[in-house]
């Protein structure tokens, strides 16, 4: 898609997630500038972007900022971008704390700029299809939902630093906490448990979160950062008064392929960037910006998800059920 | 020597599978029914005739024939009384799950079996699934490393209120989906982890089949002393329109490996004039459990799952019920 005036987008951070945001923006014909402590040149080279030596330099050259840095830095960078009058796309979690997330939303409102927390699971086709079915009333009233997400533990050490990332609940399971909110509405009570183990120097973690929604529905969310051989998979099951919906990425069967191992690489198929949920997310944000409409995910959605993750971490710390003020949950 | 086995009560629908399995094992089966059947359902002497077993007028006359063993398929709340009567008559007991509806009753049953020197086995057929045996063997061999977390689901259709109304009458069942479904997964975890659950949190609701009077949806979070966390979905969430009754899954994550089992997954799928077809072809777990019980009766060994695990798994349910009432996580009475 060619925009008459190319969007000028600045990406801050050049880690794993930048590798999917950059081609998504490029597919919209955006001009990209990258600023990062590490890897900016490499990312810029791969995606036809330029680099900026400082945040200020980047902010001077763009209209939209994509924040793709470790979680604890989101608030400071977002507030700086908003203060400079830039629209913000921020990787999830919107911020390390709900109070910071709310400050970002408030600042964006005051500055009259747009804010898009990148809760990309809303753009994964299976989840979007389930949401559409549920909102169309196909399974009646939502009763019991479960969401599960598992992968090998992330390699960058900051993910395991609770102060920086918020741990597995705030970093990984926030995807499904957002899904629970999206599908079953505001949450009133949260209970959670977690476990971490180190075996032969390898760190693994798991947590479970039980949610009671204002509607009476209950949800459970399970996350695993597992051993190195655990392939990524996610699944859900949503039981309603009139039916049930389920999906398991590990059981998708559209293609089967069995090949001998190919030493030194070999043919890798082109992945069409237009099929990527990360592209769908960026396309929605860009259209929302252009048309002045809401995107599928709003700034407040980002706040609510962080608040839920925070409540779950509090429950893990205290061993108690955490009540969320209804006013707050619905704000 | 041909064993004689009594079927005490036909209240639980598993009586059909157990009667068939007992007949296949070449034992003599006498049955008697108890409780108040729902109008229009086939029970008592008529069901005995259908199952091809001898019918006894009542529990006393059945026990007067001194059966080697009994299989109890009554309403949950009557398990204790029938177990005590059977043990007093010198019979070994295989009791349908849950073992009882209170921790006190379960402990009394275990003690009574000890005193009588007779077997008390709890009917947990999933224990006999080859997939579960594989999981246990791999965990014990260290293939999964240290276990972190387990997720279990046991979901099914709601027992039909017009045919088995006692399932949704707390006085006879002890509760709804929590009482019916948590124990199967809890039993697998008891065997797998080898430690009794420490702390339980549960939430329930009644949105599915609203108005039935007991919980139909439930989510239970369990912590074990070693730090393992478990989550169990026990909801009666399989819609009546589904082609099969439901199923059970268990997913285990360790520091070195992960494994998921779905012992009821094996089926031929397709469509007939009514819609989707689900034709299971996995092993008959009821038959394996009955065979283990009868073998223990014959040889005088102590089979698993026994009354002790029946009591320990019920303790998770009673703690879950206390948690639902208090809104807080609750310790099991075992700790």
- Flag whether B304 is in a domain: no
A26 & A83 share domain: yes
B138 & B100 share domain: no
List the single residue in B with minimal CA-CA distance to A217.
Answer: B205
CATH number of the CATH domain containing A208: 3.30.360.10
What mean pLDDT do residues A246-274 have?
76
pLDDT at B162: 85
A151 — contact with chain B (CB < 8 Å)?
A: no
Contact list, A321 vs chain B (CB under 8 Å): 201, 327-329
- Flag whether A281 is in a domain: no
Residue B289 is inside which H or E element, if any? Answer: helix B285-299
B278 & B136 share domain: yes
A82 & A208 share domain: no
pLDDT at A274: 80
Measured distance CA(A176)–CA(A180) in Å, rounded:
6
Question: Are A144 and B223 a contacting pair at CB < 8 A?
Answer: no
Question: Are A227 and B257 a contacting pair at CB < 8 A?
Answer: yes
What mean pLDDT do residues B3-22 have?
96
B147 & B233 share domain: yes
A196 & A142 share domain: yes
What mean pLDDT do residues A9-37 have?
96
A157 & A105 share domain: no
Rounded to the nearest integer, the mean pLDDT of chain B is 96
A33, A56 contact by CB (below 8 A): no
What mean pLDDT do residues B45-51 have?
97
List the single residue in B with minimal CA-CA distance to A240.
Answer: B208
- The answer for B 155-194 residues in CB contact with A (under 8 A) is 155
Instruction: List B204's β-bridge partners, or say none.
Output: B218
- Tokens for A196? 């971490």
Q: Which of B123, B152, B177 represents a domain boundary (last residue)? A: B123
Report the sign of the C-alpha dihedral through residues A243, B240, A221, A68, in that order.
negative
Residues of chain B with pLDDT > 70, as a percent, come to 100
pLDDT in tens, B255-293: 999 999 999 999 999 999 999 999 999 999 999 999 999
Domain of residue A104, residue span: 8-120
Question: Are B253 and A243 a contacting pair at CB < 8 A?
Answer: no
Residue B203 is inside which H or E element, if any? Answer: strand B199-205
pLDDT for B334 beyond 60: yes
- Flag whether A291 is in a domain: no
A17 & A143 share domain: no
A224 — contact with chain B (CB < 8 Å)?
A: yes
Q: Is B156 left (phi over 0), alpha (psi -120 to 50) or beta?
A: beta
- Classify strands A87-91 and A115-118 as parallel, antiparallel or unpaired: parallel
pLDDT at A3: 46
A215 & A325 share domain: yes
- Preferred mutation among A134, A138, A143, A198 to probe B, highest tally of B CBs within 10 A: A143
B117 & B8 share domain: yes
B50 & B154 share domain: no
- Flag whether A155 is in a domain: yes
pLDDT at A259: 80
Q: Which of A96, A120, A144 represents a domain boundary (last residue)? A: A120
A78 & A158 share domain: no
List the single residue in A with minimal CA-CA distance to B239.
Answer: A243
What mean pLDDT do residues A198-214 have?
96
A319 — contact with chain B (CB < 8 Å)?
A: yes
Domain of residue B267, residue span: 127-285+314-331
Measured distance CA(B42)–CA(B52) in Å, rounded:
14
Q: Which of B71, B93, B123 represents a domain boundary (last residue)? A: B123
* Shortest alpha-carbon distance between residue A151 and chain B (Å): 11
Strand order in the sheet with B199-205: B258-261, B246-254, B147-156, B229-233, B217-223, B199-205, B330-331
A56 & A172 share domain: no
Measured distance CA(B261)–CA(B133) in Å, rounded:
10
- Torsion angle of alpha carbons A198, A199, A200, A201, nearest 10°? -20
pLDDT for B12 beyond 90: yes
B159 & B236 share domain: yes
Q: Which of A104, A120, A136 represents a domain boundary (last residue)? A: A120
**Residue A271's pLDDT band (cuts 50, 70, 90):** low
Strand order in the sheet with B92-96: B54-55, B28-32, B4-8, B69-72, B92-96, B120-123
A164 & A254 share domain: yes
B235 — contact with chain A (CB < 8 Å)?
A: yes
pLDDT at A257: 82
pLDDT in tens, A244-253: 999 999 988 7
pLDDT at B224: 97
CATH number of the CATH domain containing B191: 3.30.360.10
CATH number of the CATH domain containing A79: 3.40.50.720
pLDDT at A267: 65
pLDDT in tens, B191-218: 999 999 999 999 999 999 999 999 999 9
Rg value, chain B, Cα: 19
B190 & B240 share domain: yes
Question: Are B217 and A195 a contacting pair at CB < 8 A?
Answer: no
Contact list, A196 vs chain B (CB under 8 Å): 148
Question: Are B255 and A207 a contacting pair at CB < 8 A?
Answer: no
pLDDT in tens, A84-134: 999 999 999 999 999 999 999 999 999 999 999 999 999 999 999 999 999
Instruction: List A212's β-bridge partners, or say none.
Output: A189, A218
∠ Cα B253 B286 B137 (to 5°):
30
- Classify strands B258-261 and B246-254 as parallel, antiparallel or unpaired: antiparallel
**Residue A1's pLDDT band (cuts 50, 70, 90):** very low
What mean pLDDT do residues B17-41 have?
95
**Residue A2's pLDDT band (cuts 50, 70, 90):** very low
DSSP secondary structure of B66-102: --SEEEE-S-GGGHHHHHHHHHHTT-EEEEESSS-SS
* Shortest alpha-carbon distance between residue A111 and chain B (Å): 43
pLDDT for A329 beyond 50: no
- Of B201, B233, B241, which is closest to A144 when you measure between CB atoms? B233
B291 — contact with chain A (CB < 8 Å)?
A: no
B145 & B262 share domain: yes
Rg value, chain A, Cα: 20
- Flag whether B154 is in a domain: yes
- Flag whether A313 is in a domain: yes
B94 & B149 share domain: no
Q: Which of A120, A146, A173 represents a domain boundary (last residue)? A: A120
A23 & A113 share domain: yes
Among A40-54, A157-171, A299-313, B175-189, which stretch is predicted with the lowest mean pLDDT? A157-171
A223 & A314 share domain: yes
A with B: how many residue pairs have Cβ under 8 Å apart?
A: 136
- Flag whether A293 is in a domain: no
Residues of chain A with pLDDT > 70, as a percent, come to 94
**Residue A273's pLDDT band (cuts 50, 70, 90):** confident
Question: Are B216 and A143 a contacting pair at CB < 8 A?
Answer: yes
B281 & B141 share domain: yes
Residue of A1 and A308 predicted with greater confidence: A308
- Of A195, A222, A244, which is closest to B151 when you measure between CB atoms? A222
What mean pLDDT do residues A169-187 have?
97
Q: Which of B104, B123, B142 represents a domain boundary (last residue)? A: B123
Q: Which single residue is written with the structure tokens 């910006």?
A: A289
List the single residue in A with minimal CA-CA distance to B217.
Answer: A144
- Flag whether B303 is in a domain: no
**Domain tally for chain A?**
2
- Of A146, A195, A244, which is closest to B227 when you measure between CB atoms? A195
B162 & B82 share domain: no
B243 — contact with chain A (CB < 8 Å)?
A: no
pLDDT in tens, A286-304: 999 999 999 999 999 999 9
pLDDT at A265: 53
pLDDT at A143: 98
- Flag whether A170 is in a domain: yes
pLDDT in tens, A63-75: 999 999 999 999 9
pLDDT for B222 beyond 90: yes
Question: Are A150 and B203 a contacting pair at CB < 8 A?
Answer: no
A78, A156 contact by CB (below 8 A): no
**DSSP-based helix, strand, coil % in chain B, nearest 5:** 40, 25, 40
**Domain tally for chain B?**
2
B119 & B225 share domain: no
- Tokens for A227? 């051993």
pLDDT at B1: 75
A200 & A266 share domain: yes
- Flag whether A284 is in a domain: no
B215 — contact with chain A (CB < 8 Å)?
A: no
Contact list, A141 vs chain B (CB under 8 Å): 207
- Flag whether B174 is in a domain: yes
CATH number of the CATH domain containing B98: 3.40.50.720
* Shortest alpha-carbon distance between residue B23 and chain A (Å): 38
Contact list, B254 vs chain A (CB under 8 Å): 227
- Flag whether A279 is in a domain: no
């Amino acid at each position: 898609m060619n925009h008459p005036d190319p969007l000028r987008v600045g990406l801050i951070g050049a880690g794993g997630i930048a590798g999917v945001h950059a081609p998504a923006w490029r597919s919209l014909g955006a001009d990209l500038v990258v600023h990062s402590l590490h890897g900016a040149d490499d990312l810029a080279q791969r995606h036809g972007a330029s680099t900026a030596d400082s945040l200020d330099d980047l902010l001077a050259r763009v209209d939209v900022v994509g924040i793709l840095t470790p979680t604890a830095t989101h608030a400071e960078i977002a507030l700086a971008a908003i203060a400079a009058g830039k629209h913000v796309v921020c990787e999830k979690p919107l911020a390390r704390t709900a109070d910071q997330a709310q400050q970002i939303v408030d600042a964006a409102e005051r500055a009259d700029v747009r804010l898009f927390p990148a809760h990309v699971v809303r753009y994964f086709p299976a989840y979007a299809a389930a949401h559409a079915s549920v909102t169309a009333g196909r399974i009646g009233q939502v009763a019991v939902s479960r969401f599960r997400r598992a992968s090998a533990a992330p390699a960058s050490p900051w993910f395991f630093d609770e102060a920086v990332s918020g741990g597995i609940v705030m970093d990984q399971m926030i995807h499904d906490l957002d899904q629970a909110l999206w599908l079953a509405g505001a949450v009133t009570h949260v209970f959670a448990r977690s476990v971490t183990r180190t075996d032969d120097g390898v760190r693994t973690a798991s947590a479970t979160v039980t949610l009671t929604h204002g509607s009476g529905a209950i949800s459970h969310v399970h996350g695993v950062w597992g051993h190195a051989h655990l392939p990524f998979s996610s699944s859900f099951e949503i039981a309603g008064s009139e039916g049930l919906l389920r999906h398991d990425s590990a059981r998708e069967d559209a293609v089967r392929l069995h090949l001998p191992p190919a030493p030194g690489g070999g043919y890798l198929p082109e992945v069409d960037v237009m099929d990527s949920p990360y592209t769908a997310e960026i396309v929605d944000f860009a259209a929302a910006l252009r048309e002045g409409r809401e995107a599928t995910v709003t700034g407040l959605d980002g706040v609510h998800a962080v608040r839920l993750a925070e409540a779950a971490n509090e429950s893990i710390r205290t061993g108690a059920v955490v009540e969320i003020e209804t006013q707050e949950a619905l704000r | 020597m041909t064993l004689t086995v009594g079927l005490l009560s036909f209240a639980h629908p598993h009586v059909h599978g157990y009667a068939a399995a007992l007949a296949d094992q070449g034992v003599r089966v006498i049955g008697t029914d108890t409780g108040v059947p729902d109008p229009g359902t086939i029970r008592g002497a008529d069901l005995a005739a259908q199952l091809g077993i001898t019918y006894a007028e009542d529990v006393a006359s059945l026990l007067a024939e001194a059966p080697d063993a009994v299989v109890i398929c009554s309403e949950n709340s009557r398990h204790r009384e029938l177990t005590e009567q059977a043990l007093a008559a010198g019979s070994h007991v295989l009791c349908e799950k849950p073992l009882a509806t209170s921790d006190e009753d379960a402990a009394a049953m275990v003690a009574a079996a000890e005193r009588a020197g007779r077997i008390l086995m709890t009917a947990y057929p999933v224990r006999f699934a080859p997939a579960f045996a594989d999981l246990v063997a791999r965990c014990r061999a260290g293939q999964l490393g240290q276990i972190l977390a387990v997720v279990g689901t046991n979901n099914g259709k709601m027992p039909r209120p017009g045919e088995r109304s006692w399932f949704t009458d707390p006085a006879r069942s002890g509760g709804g989906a929590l009482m019916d479904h948590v124990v199967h997964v809890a039993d697998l975890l008891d065997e797998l982890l080898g430690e009794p659950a420490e702390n339980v949190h549960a939430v329930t609701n009644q949105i599915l089949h609203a108005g039935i009077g007991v919980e139909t949806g439930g989510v239970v979070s369990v912590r074990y002393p070693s730090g393992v966390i478990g989550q169990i979905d026990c909801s009666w969430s399989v819609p009546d329109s589904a082609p099969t009754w439901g199923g059970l899954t268990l997913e285990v994550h360790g520091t070195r490996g992960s494994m998921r089992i779905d012992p009821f997954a094996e089926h031929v799928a397709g469509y007939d004039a009514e819609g989707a077809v689900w034709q299971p072809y996995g092993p008959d777990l009821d038959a394996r459990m009955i065979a283990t019980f009868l073998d223990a009766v014959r040889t005088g060994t102590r089979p698993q799952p026994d009354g002790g695990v029946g009591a320990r798994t019920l303790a998770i349910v009673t703690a879950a019920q206390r948690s639902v009432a208090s809104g807080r996580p609750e310790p099991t009475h075992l700790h």
